[in-house]
Amino acid sequence: MENYLSTEFRRATPLFLEEARAKGRYRTAQRVFETLTPEQVVDEVKNSGLRGRGGAWFPTGIKWSFMPKEPLKGPSYLVINADEGEPGTFKDRQIMEKDPHLLLEGILIGSFAIRAETAFLYIRGEYKLAHDTLAQAIAELEAAGILGDAAFGTKRKMRIVLHRGAGAYICGEETALLNSLEGRRGEPRPKPPFPAVWGAFGRPTSVNNVETLANVPAILEKGAAWYKSAGTAQAPGHLLFGVSGAVERPGCFELPLGTTARELVERWAGGVKGGRRMKAFIPGGASTGFLPPDRLDVPMDPESLRKEGTMLGTGGIIVIPEGVEIVDAARVFSRFFRHETCGQCSPCREGSAWSDQVVGRFQRGEGRTEDFVLLDAIMRGSKQRTICVFPEAFAGPLGSAVKHFKDDLMAVSARRAAADAGSGAAAHGTASHG
């Protein structure tokens, strides 16, 4: 299957409307608006097997089918999740900075499918360039009459409101994002009610990731059967995989779901930087934790990674080279999650802080075998006892470090303890974060 997500990624400047239309953009959206019903769009997307790229991998067509069929006494909304904050993830940014109209066409079709006349595009505060690029692209659509009171000359109204966040990882969680959009603290909401019932401003809402929506125009143009010809049976299509960390040519690569991590790292990203060996890799963003290099041949799809006890997440591979200790990398994450918990639920607030302290102990050479029991208790104690699944995110790096690198953690701790005893206040080297 030819690439359909990343065709413009090598450009120096964004693909704006005139050139985009010359390449056939918006022909599909126009056909959808003029000739299809919302049910037909939802069915096509359902049949394609498209699953959400924000990390949870929920089937998009099914999510859309939960939305009210008749706008009941008021509007439904589409909310686009462009908060992209999972460390190791930088794909949505490529779409927005290079090919804004790919996303916008997906938004138009998605809005049509769920009978929304307003779409809110929530973009993380740091993505100023992406925000400004989208603002320009949206203005182009307004000037062209594609957005406005008669989208594509039909009776449908359509508008897109750009909204910038202000720095908080948790706002990527869909209900936190809705609170943030409403001008509140970005704290996740208890579910139910789910967004399809009570979403943005109390109205039925579908929250979809940027990359998810970028898949939609191709599905409507070429059909579900075409889409299913790539990827795996349960996760069809292409994914924008990220490869970062210690590799020769880091970047964002469009490949079928099910491509192995080895192919991504060795073939596409040029292997480990400087010809070093790999200590570990993270398959799909910070929350998915560490895997040892002997798992590189695992196919990168949700089901295969679940069998490995982890998740595909956002598909952002991060390579940790030999010479970097797992405990130091784990501390980067434990500190991150401690910083990013919203603090509403005690098991999460306290658990993220405790686990950071425990990892800190190992880092300083004060690790004890009892600490593994403690870590396990923290992770089990927070599971399913909180408003959102954030504790599963911080348990990712933590649990996997214990599972795959237990001996390593103890050995490094013992070595650092010995070094301290030997030379008083000897430094641990630059990798220590105190």
Q: Which residues bind another protein (CB under 8 A)?
A: 6, 9-10, 12, 75, 84-90, 92-94, 98, 118, 124-129, 161, 163-169, 180-187, 200-201, 203, 242-246, 249-252, 282, 286, 316, 318-321, 324, 329, 332-333, 336, 339-340, 342, 430
Shorter beta-carbon distance to another protein: residue 224 or 412:
412
Q: Which member of 386, 396, 400, 401 binds ligand SF4 (CB under 6 A)?
A: 386
Query: For the window 289-328, what string marks contact with ligand SF4 as x by the rule CB under 6 A?
Result: ----------------------------------------
Q: Which member of 8, 44, 99, 174 binds ligand FMN (CB under 6 A)?
A: 174
Q: Which does 66 bind (CB under 5 to 8 A by kind): ligand FMN, another protein, ligand SF4, none?
A: none
Shorter beta-carbon distance to another protein: residue 164 or 349:
164
Shorter beta-carbon distance to another protein: residue 223 or 274:
274
Q: Which member of 94, 206, 310, 344 binds ligand SF4 (CB under 6 A)?
A: 344
Cβ of 329: how many Cβ atoms within 10 Å? 22
Shorter beta-carbon distance to ligand SF4: residue 176 or 269:
176
The answer to whether residue 342 forms part of the interface with ligand SF4 (CB under 6 A) is yes
Q: Where does 184-250 have alpha helices with state H?
A: 210-222, 224-228
**Pairing between β-strand 251-256 and β-strand 238-245 as defined by DSSP bridges:** antiparallel
Q: Which member of 390, 395, 409, 412 binds ligand SF4 (CB under 6 A)?
A: 390
CB 393 to ligand SF4: min, Å: 8
Residue nearest ligand SF4, CB atom distance:
348
**Tokens found for residue 99:** 């090919």
Shorter beta-carbon distance to ligand FMN: residue 78 or 247:
78
| Nearest alpha-carbon partner for 170 in 151, 191, 185 | 185
Q: Where does 325-389 have alpha helices with state H?
A: 326-340, 346-363, 370-382
Q: Which member of 21, 156, 164, 349 binds ligand SF4 (CB under 6 A)?
A: 349
CB 126 to another protein: min, Å: 5
Interatomic CA distance for residues 288 and 413, integer angstroms: 24
Cβ of 142: how many Cβ atoms within 10 Å? 13
Query: For the window 166-195, what string marks contact with ligand SF4 as x by the rule CB under 6 A?
Result: ----x-----------------x-------
| 130: exposed, middle or buried (Cβ count in 10 Å: 0-12, 13-18, 19+) | buried
**CB of 215 closer than 8 Å to CB of 107:** no
Q: Which does 387 bind (CB under 5 to 8 A by kind): another protein, ligand FMN, ligand SF4, none?
A: ligand SF4
Residues shown for the chain: 434
Q: Which member of 343, 350, 374, 403 binds ligand SF4 (CB under 6 A)?
A: 343
DSSP-assigned letter for residue 255: E
The answer to whether residue 76 forms part of the interface with ligand FMN (CB under 6 A) is no
> Which range, of 76-84, 141-149, 398-406, 410-418, touches ligand FMN by CB under 6 A?
76-84
Q: Which member of 108, 393, 398, 401 binds ligand FMN (CB under 6 A)?
A: 393
Question: Which neighbouring-strand residues pair with 205?
Answer: 77
Interatomic CA distance for residues 168 and 180, integer angstroms: 10
Q: Which member of 38, 172, 271, 399 binds ligand FMN (CB under 6 A)?
A: 172
CB 198 to ligand SF4: min, Å: 17
| 425: exposed, middle or buried (Cβ count in 10 Å: 0-12, 13-18, 19+) | exposed
Shorter beta-carbon distance to another protein: residue 9 or 64:
9
Q: Where does 269-317 have alpha helices with state H?
A: 302-307
**CB of 188 closer than 8 Å to CB of 182:** no
211-230 positions binding ligand FMN, by CB under 6 A? 212
The answer to whether residue 52 forms part of the interface with ligand FMN (CB under 6 A) is yes
The three-point CA angle 74-117-6 to 5° equals 145
Shorter beta-carbon distance to another protein: residue 48 or 89:
89
* Contacting residues for 13 by C-beta, under 8 A, at least 6 apart: none
Question: Exposure pattern of 257-291 as b/e (b: 16+ CB <10 Å)?
Answer: bbbbbbbbbbebbebbeeeeebbbbbbbbbbbbbb
| 401: exposed, middle or buried (Cβ count in 10 Å: 0-12, 13-18, 19+) | buried
| Nearest alpha-carbon partner for 87 in 172, 157, 2, 1 | 172
Residue numbers at the binding site for ligand SF4 (CB under 6 A): 170, 188, 341-345, 348-349, 386-388, 390-391
Residue numbers at the binding site for ligand FMN (CB under 6 A): 52-56, 58, 81, 83-86, 170, 172-174, 207-209, 212, 388-390, 393
